[in-house]
Amino acid sequence: MAYPRSIPHHNNNFNTLRLVMPTWPTANIKLSKMKWNTAYHIYEAGAILVIILSWWLWATDQNINQGIHWQSFDGVMERSLTRGQVASQKAVKDLREDVRKNGNSREGLARIERALVLQKRTQKIIATLDKAKKRLNTMPSGAYCKVSNWLIAQGEAHRIKKKLDQHVNWLNWEHRDLVEPFEKFAKGNPAGNQDFAHYYFEYASPAEASLILSFKQVIIRRYEAQLLKKLGAGDLSSGCSINWVEAGVWAPTDIIQAGDTYTADLFISTGARVRDLKMQINQTPLMIQDGQGRVAFQTQGVGRQFWEAKVIWRLAGRDTTVTQRVPLEVLPK
């Protein structure tokens, strides 16, 4: 699975703090479109089976807290999305370097421009789903009616489907010279006379609905990865490398209103076993879980601001500290 996101017209939300040590050559992994579509359908079928099981447990009043399980699955998806964001940024960086080494040809610069536009459009649609997931996460765990009312009755799922379809249409038109058309993945169940909204969300809990949207985000990242590779941005597979460490900061936006809660994640990706991992924000330690530290604070004042992210680890007997000043624009209410 590719390794995270974005905000409309903001390309600098992801800041890389990196220390890259010598690596073994990565293995080239090539998936044909047929294999990817097959894997997609198998994965979606599995997800639907799990959701059906949860409906049965709910309907038969089984005393099981399913929300914890959905949150666990969603956590796996979120980590996959983070890795996908890291891989995307690195791929375009490598593409820039390759074009520079070859004299900044017109064709090379055009490929860079296409890659940047692709990244921006990918970030925009993923941010749309992030916004929906954020609202779902504010609902109580058993708020089935609230989910149905918002996503179906109020039409939010229909709007999401429209945007997903538009994104795939754009991918297929703008990159028709590179790949066969991508399949749309916001479909319903014609045999059961159910549209996208009813098929996925009619009986979904907030955690289930969020998981479904995360899965759609993973597909978006997969499509982006295939196109970046066609544009010459390298192999985006995780590969088989050792002794590399890359730390980063991801934030859903760098523009926020005064008094709102700002969130971000510090994370570390590594092919080696690091020790004594620590993360800090403005010299304050963060709790680390699965290699990630969650940042959350209420904004104060207005104007251009910065906060300091720090990741510390020990590898091969040597301590490494990487620090990043992360920009933030606070707007008045």
Question: Is 68 in the same domain as 116?
Answer: yes
Looking at residue 256, its pLDDT comes to: 87
| 130 and 221 part of one domain | yes
- Confidence class for position 159, pLDDT limits 50, 70, 90: very high
Domain count, the chain: 2
Going across the sheet that includes 292-298, the strands are 14-19, 245-250, 261-270, 292-298, 288-289
Q: Verify that 41 and 127 share a domain, yes or no.
A: yes
Confirm whether 21 is domain-assigned: no
Q: Are 19 and 245 in contact (CB under 8 A)?
A: yes
We report the CATH number of the domain holding residue 254 as 2.60.40.1930
Is the confidence at residue 155, as pLDDT, over 50? yes
Closest by Cα among 283, 298, 291 to 250: 291
Q: Which of 200, 230, 260 is the last residue of a domain?
A: 230
Q: Are residues 169 and 298 in the same domain?
A: no
Helices (H), ranges, 153-194 = 156-174
Flag whether pLDDT at 116 surpasses 50. yes
Mark whether 34 and 169 lie in a shared domain: yes
- Do 174 and 225 have their domain in common? yes
| pLDDT tens string 182-194 | 989 898 877 667 8
Residue 191 lies in a domain: yes
Q: Are residues 189 and 47 in the same domain?
A: yes
Q: What percent of the chain has pLDDT over 90?
A: 27
Residues 210 and 293 in one domain: no
**DSSP class of 193:** T
Distance CA 56, CA 75 (A): 23
Answer whether residue 150 shows pLDDT above 60.
yes
**What is the average pLDDT value for the chain, to the nearest integer?**
75
| Phi, psi of 302, rounded to the nearest 5 degrees | -135, 165
Q: What is the mean pLDDT of residues 116-127?
A: 94
Two tokens, residue 102 = 């070859």
- HEC per residue, 51-113: HHHHHHHHHCCCCCCHHHHHHHHHHHHHHHHHHHHHHHHHHHHHHHHHHHHCCCCHHHHHHHH
Q: How many CB atoms lie within 10 A of CB 315?
A: 19
DSSP state of 273: -
Q: What is the pLDDT of residue 22?
A: 35
Q: Do 184 and 165 meet the contact criterion of CB atoms below 8 Å apart?
A: yes
pLDDT digits (tens, 9 = 90+) for 292-312: 788 889 998 999 999 999 989
For residue range 197-242, what is the model confidence (pLDDT) as tens digits? 998 898 888 988 998 898 899 889 989 988 998 888 654 333 334 4
Residues 168 and 84 occupy one common structural domain: yes
Provide the domain limits for residue 283.
Answer: 245-331
> Are both 138 and 270 inside the same structural domain?
no
For tokens 């301590």, the residue is: 319
Say if CB 327 and CB 256 are below 8 A apart.
Answer: no
Per-residue pLDDT, 244: 52
Residue 108 domain-assigned? yes
Q: Tell me which of 230, 256, 277 is where a domain ends.
A: 230
- Do 32 and 108 lie in one domain? The reply is yes
Across 72-76, 77-81, 134-138, which has the greatest mean pLDDT? 134-138
Which comes out higher in pLDDT, residue 36 or 47? 47
